[in-house]
């Protein structure tokens, strides 16, 4: 990947890492599907404003609409709903972010199975090493966090599998010549349309409490930062770096959260944090492939 792709991945990890915090605030007062609907609606409105401001062309043919609906389901409706349901059931946000870090493992397998990218031992080893680094950063908290939350943990794992399929499916936007802002606006709009008939049936809007200022702020952060801005970056990276490299962002999210806590909140960095970050860096290097190849070439007589 190019340097700007790595910068984009780190930025995306910060935007998506914040979503676990925002969801943790919102689920104290609102049910899961209502949160997801608010998230994608806010994002869709913001993204269409960007499309209008940039005067980008919008395709309305069947292929573009099918791509938007597919991505809306695979990348928003299914994973957002599962993760919010899991956190609403008591799964700690830190444990959810660890389980979310299995996404690159699924991405390597799904991309190979669908013929999008070739499966290599180095990529599998890199994804496994990166996940081990994420687990090491949390340490003994994993067992305590998972206790009594087996179904919630399974829901998050299903969400990561959906993300992996979305990474491969979403490449068709670039093939159709759809600009990233239009692709992002299309998928969030499709998600909103899929949710609008479901939410009133499952979570009557009249029964919802008026959101507190904290929930309003959390929903705004979810929609504008963790969804609208994040998906502008997502589709640009998908076109330039590919689905497996793109989904490495889930390995960076816990590391970003720990570093932000140390820099902004004065939280202490434990040795396991340094060990975990080193393992994540090693996993990323293996998947990227260039450093290991150079090392092998230089070691040859």
pLDDT of the chain, 301 residues: tens digit per residue:
788 888 898 899 888 877 877 888 888 888 888 888 899 999 999 999 999 999 999 988 889 899 999 998 998 889 888 888 887 777 776 677 777 777 877 888 888 888 767 777 887 888 788 778 777 776 655 555 556 667 888 888 899 899 889 888 888 888 888 898 999 999 999 999 988 888 888 777 667 788 899 899 999 999 999 999 998 998 888 888 887 777 778 777 777 666 665 665 565 667 777 787 788 778 777 777 776 677 766 766 6
31 DSSP 8-state letter = -
Vertex 41 angle, CA 35 and 42, to 5°: 90
Q: Is this model's pTM higher than 0.85 or not?
A: no
Residue 274: other Cβ atoms inside 10 A: 13
> What is the pLDDT at residue 138?
62
Q: Please say whether the beta carbons of 261 and 14 come within 8 A.
A: no
User: How is the chain split among helix, strand and coil, in percent rounded to 5?
Assistant: 80, 0, 20
State the Cα–Cα distance between residues 200 and 85, nearest whole angstrom. 17
State the Cα–Cα distance between residues 121 and 32, nearest whole angstrom. 38
Vertex 223 angle, CA 217 and 226, to 5°: 100
Question: H helices of 101-248, where?
Answer: 103-113, 121-138, 141-146, 150-169, 171-175, 180-195, 199-202, 213-220, 230-241, 243-246
Residue 212: other Cβ atoms inside 10 A: 14
Question: Which residue range forms the structural domain that includes residue 145?
Answer: 3-299
State the Cα–Cα distance between residues 113 and 135, nearest whole angstrom. 26
* Host H or E run for residue 286: helix 271-288
Query: 134-163 b/e with 16+ CB inside 10 Å = b?
Result: bbbbbeeebeebbeebeebbebbbebbbbb
Q: Based on the structure, what is the number of domains in the chain? A: 1
Q: Is the dihedral of CA 253, 259, 261, 263 positive or negative?
A: negative
Q: Please say whether the beta carbons of 232 and 180 come within 8 A.
A: yes
> What is the pLDDT at residue 108?
81
> What is the pLDDT at residue 104?
79
Token representation of residue 203: 């979570």
Report the candidate in 98, 75, 248 with the shortest Cα–Cα distance to residue 161. 75
Q: How large is the C-alpha radius of gyration of the chain? A: 19
């Amino acid at each position: 990947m190019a340097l700007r792709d790595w910068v984009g991945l780190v930025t995306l990890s910060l935007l998506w890492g914040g979503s676990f915090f925002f969801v943790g605030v919102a689920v104290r007062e609102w049910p899961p599907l209502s949160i997801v609907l608010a998230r994608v609606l806010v994002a869709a409105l913001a993204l269409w404003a960007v499309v209008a401001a940039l005067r980008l062309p919008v395709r309305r043919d069947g292929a573009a609409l099918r791509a938007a609906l597919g991505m809306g389901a695979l990348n928003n409706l299914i994973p957002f709903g599962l993760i919010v349901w899991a956190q609403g059931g008591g799964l700690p946000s830190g444990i959810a972010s660890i389980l979310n870090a299995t996404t690159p493992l699924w991405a390597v397998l799904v991309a190979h199975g669908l013929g999008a990218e070739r499966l290599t031992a180095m990529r599998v080893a890199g994804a496994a090493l990166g996940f081990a680094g994420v687990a090491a950063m949390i340490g003994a908290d994993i067992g305590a966090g998972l206790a009594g939350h087996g179904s919630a943990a399974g829901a998050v794992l299903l969400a990561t599998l959906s993300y992996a399929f979305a990474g491969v499916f979403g490449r068709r936007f670039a093939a159709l010549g759809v600009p990233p802002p239009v692709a992002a606006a299309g998928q969030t709009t499709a998600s909103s349309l899929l949710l609008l008939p479901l939410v009133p049936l499952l979570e009557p809007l009249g029964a919802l409490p008026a959101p507190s200022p904290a929930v309003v702020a959390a929903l705004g952060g979810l929609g504008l930062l963790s969804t609208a801005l994040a998906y502008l970056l997502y589709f640009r990276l998908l076109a330039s770096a590919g689905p497996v490299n793109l989904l490495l962002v889930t390995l960076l999210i816990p590391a970003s959260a720990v570093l932000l806590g140390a820099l902004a909140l004065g939280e202490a960095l434990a040795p396991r944090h340094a060990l975990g970050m080193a393992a994540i860096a090693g996993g990323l290097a293996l998947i990227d492939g260039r450093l290991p190849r150079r090392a092998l070439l230089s070691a040859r007589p």
